[in-house]
Structure 1
């Protein structure tokens, strides 16, 4: 619960009120319901879910900085689609999805996609990276660097996944999670929308999360220490 309290303290310092606190949202998740009618409840639930995911994932990496990641990747997706990238590999669907993997509880939509959780099966990392690299030179220079960074990350995560799957008996990671957490202290928002321009990623376990969520996930989330 310490991580949830820390996350809420950041919001309080920014005068941001989601109508549901992050500790309350975490408690809702751990007791099996996400039925708050607060306008920004989805933001609180996504922040709380990230607290559960983080301790069960690899060390997070920083992908990029975007003032509006949903707008950026929506534009990139449209361009890539016109260049022939298959629909099932377009980046917006992974980074700004409308739902979480099978086994996760339903979460209301996060307003402004801050905070938000995206995911990609690691088996798609190489096909997606290859597809993006194939059109890289045709992208506008203003977006090319960010997509190059995305391609590099996907290729690196694919190599780790292949090595872990083939060489490590304990390795179970097969999902890549993307997260845009709430705005850090020192950056302010004029309204109830918290925004963090940093998009990060981490590999974690199987998307079949029902047993994990009810055992490892809940136990970890209740610990006083964790990834905050």
Structure 2
């Protein structure tokens, strides 16, 4: 993909997996998200939102570093977690980023032990991530990127409280919402936890 200052390892993996030309949404959001701004990206189902989210996390983190989690990615359920983790493995093939996924029925003690060994990206449903961080005392101030996939669906399903609690525990981070539609709850959450968020919608620039 021909995107400005894209990480060469990410670009190589994208090309090998037939992501040749960025779509309109990816082109429109790339520079703003890469700059570190809080962003709400709204795009129709099947338009590559999850791929774009994973691209931005890889671009920002670049390589493994430290022992504490540096990116949280919120998803709906186990199936979506597995999809996102596999996508990280595919597009992060030429990096050494450590990615781990959790789900509601997973062994919490096992998950805590794995996280404590050191990783870069943690993927899972809001309630599970909230339970892990609220009981284990993990350092939240290393979180560089706080991304919510299908944010409109998660907020509709009353997952906003867990996400808000975790967000409040992070001193400074970049927050990203990816959604298929603009909803009242999406706008309320953006107003509540984001700093001067940029909104990207179909056929529109940031507003």
The structure having more radius of gyration, on CA atoms, is 1
Q: Name the structure with the higher helix share.
A: 1
Tell me, yes or no, whether TM beats 0.5. Answer: no
Return the TM-score normalized by structure 1: 0.28
Return the TM-score normalized by structure 2: 0.30
